[in-house]
């Protein structure tokens, strides 16, 4: 599967998305020939083999039409009308995407099989566990997930991307609390950029009843390291086995994802070496992937744990490492 240096570069993505645009611009800046580009929308509507070459598969996200086609391919209804940000058909979307990935036979920077596993939190966690890497314990969530007397958990969609649908839940016999970047409108659940706290049991039940049937994992919620800029974790881009770009993500909510208005802090505030080493080990669980974004959690004493691995975790604009942007590092490593 290893891409040969002479074969032409091929991209699959959503052409309107900045990921593709930035990647193309980077290729040009590095004097690389213009790659052949396939749009998900086109390939899903008119399935056909893509040209042979070194294929980079980018994110299918942030495109309503592509979502419709994937949901349909995954056994959902055709032309489903989802409102902006609406969280629904996560299973069908994921199944459709996996079916699409299975059709790809070209040699890839990140193999379709590895991408499919990275898009399944449960399977990814199994790999980390088998490799003996420290991470919070997790299990598949059932509707009985909050039945114990009291507790605290992260509930994460099995197949969600970024923080979409991720809930931090705490409960005691006296009360419950759910923190999530979610809003409720007209009996539907929407992904938002604002993290809200729900304390009303009706709201909490509604959210969980909507999400758990779509597939969730229940994960131990370990308190994060608290630093001057907020609760902190690390996003580490591992390229060709080496931990490269790293961001300290800081938030005053339990969700540190940067698109939620959180801040990038100075990674040198933390004990980086063990964290970077762990990120490399996590990425090594996916030998057929040239690169991956690894989330490294830091507990309240700063000890690192593996969070998630992200197939498309390379969108790290304005961040350089050893003079290279994330895309430059990936392109140079793939030549």
Partner 1 sequence: MRRELIYMDAKSSKFWNIQLEGSSHTVTYGRIGSAGQSATKPFASEELARKDAEKLIKEKLGKGYVEAGAEAPQTGQLLSVAFPSIIHKDEVHRNAGTFVGQRVVDYDSAKEPRSDVAYRFRSDYDHDTMMEDLEHFASSAVAAQVTALVIGTWQGGDSGEDSGAIIAALASHAARFPRLVALYLGDIVSDEIEMSWIQQVDLSPLLEAFPQLQLLRARGGEGLELSRPCHANLRALALETGGMNARVVNSLGKAEFPNLEYLELWLGTEDYGRTTSVEDLQPILQGGRFPKLKYLGLRNCDIIDEIAQALPGAPLLQQLETLDLSLGTLGDQGGRALLEIRGPLKRLNLHHNYLSPEMVRKLKDMPLSLDATNPSNMEADEEDRYVAVGE
Stretch that binds partner 1, among 53-61, 98-106, 145-153, 323-331 (CB under 8 A): 145-153
Interface with partner 1 includes 223 (CB under 8 A)?
yes
Kindly write out the interface string for residues 247-286 of this chain, putting x where it contacts partner 1 by CB under 8 A and - elsewhere: -----x-x--------------------------------
- Rounded Cα distance between 309 and 55, Å, is 20
Q: Does residue 128 belong to the site contacting partner 1 (CB under 8 A)? A: no
C-alpha 85/C-alpha 193 separation (Å) is 10
Between residues 150 and 209, which has the closer beta carbon with respect to partner 1?
Answer: 150
Nearer to partner 1, 95 or 235 (CB): 235
Q: Which stretch binds partner 1 (CB under 8 A): 15-23, 96-104, 166-174, 316-324?
A: 166-174
CB of 157 to partner 1, least distance (A): 21
Min CB(262)–partner 1 separation in Å: 11
Say if residue 287 is exposed, middle or buried (CB neighbours under 10 Å; 0-12, 13-18, 19+). Answer: exposed
Residues in the chain: 335
Give the DSSP per-residue string, 43-54.
HHHS--PPPSSE
Of the residues 127, 152, 188, 264, which one makes contact with partner 1 according to CB under 8 A: 152
Is 192 one of the binding residues for partner 1 (CB under 8 A)? Answer: no
Helix (H, G, I), strand (E, B) or coil at 9: strand
Please write down the HEC assignment for all residues of 131-172. CCCCCCCEEECCCCCCCCCCEEEEEEECCCCCCCCCEEEEEC
Is there a contact between 50 and 104 (Cβ–Cβ < 8 Å)?
A: yes
Number of Cβ within a 10 Å radius of residue 4: 9
Binder to partner 1 among 299, 319, 328, 333 (CB under 8 A)? Answer: 299
Could you say which of 177, 192, 210, 333 contacts partner 1 (CB under 8 A)? 177
Q: Write out the residues near partner 1 by the rule CB under 8 A.
A: 149-152, 170-173, 175, 177, 197, 199, 220-224, 226-228, 230-231, 252, 254, 299-301
């Amino acid at each position: 599967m290893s891409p040969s240096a002479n074969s032409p570069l091929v991209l699959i993505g959503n052409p309107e998305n900045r990921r593709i645009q930035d990647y193309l611009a980077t290729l040009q800046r590095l004097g690389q020939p213009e790659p052949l580009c396939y749009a998900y929308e086109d390939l899903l509507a008119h399935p056909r083999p893509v040209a042979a070459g070194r294929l980079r598969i980018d994110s299918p996200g942030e495109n309503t039409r592509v979502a419709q086609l994937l949901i349909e391919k995954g056994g959902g209804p055709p032309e489903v009308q989802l409102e902006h940000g609406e969280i629904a058909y996560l299973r069908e979307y994921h199944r459709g995407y996996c079916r699409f990935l299975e059709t790809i036979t070209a040699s890839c920077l990140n193999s379709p099989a590895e991408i499919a596993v990275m898009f399944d939190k449960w399977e990814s966690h199994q790999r980390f566990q088998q490799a003996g890497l420290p991470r919070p314990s997790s299990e598949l969530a059932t509707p009985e997930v909050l039945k114990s007397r009291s507790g605290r958990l992260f509930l994460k969609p099995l197949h969600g991307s970024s923080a979409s649908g991720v809930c931090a839940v705490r409960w005691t016999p006296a009360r419950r609390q759910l923190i999530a970047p979610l809003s409720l409108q007209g009996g539907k659940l929407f992904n938002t950029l604002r993290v809200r706290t729900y304390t009303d049991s009706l709201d909490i039940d509604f959210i969980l009843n909507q999400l758990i049937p779509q597939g969730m994992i229940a994960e131990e919620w370990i308190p994060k390291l608290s630093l001057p800029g907020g609760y902190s974790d690390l996003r580490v881009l591992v390229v060709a086995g080496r931990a490269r770009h790293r961001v300290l993500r800081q938030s005053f909510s339990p969700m540190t994802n940067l698109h939620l208005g959180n801040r990038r802090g100075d990674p040198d505030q933390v004990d980086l070496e063990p964290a970077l080493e762990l990120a490399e080990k996590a990425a090594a669980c996916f030998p057929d992937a040239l690169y991956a974004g690894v989330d490294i959690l830091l507990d309240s004493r700063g000890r690192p744990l593996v969070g998630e691995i992200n197939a498309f975790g390379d969108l790290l604009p304005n961040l350089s490492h050893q003079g290279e942007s994330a895309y430059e590092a990936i392109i140079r490593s793939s030549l």
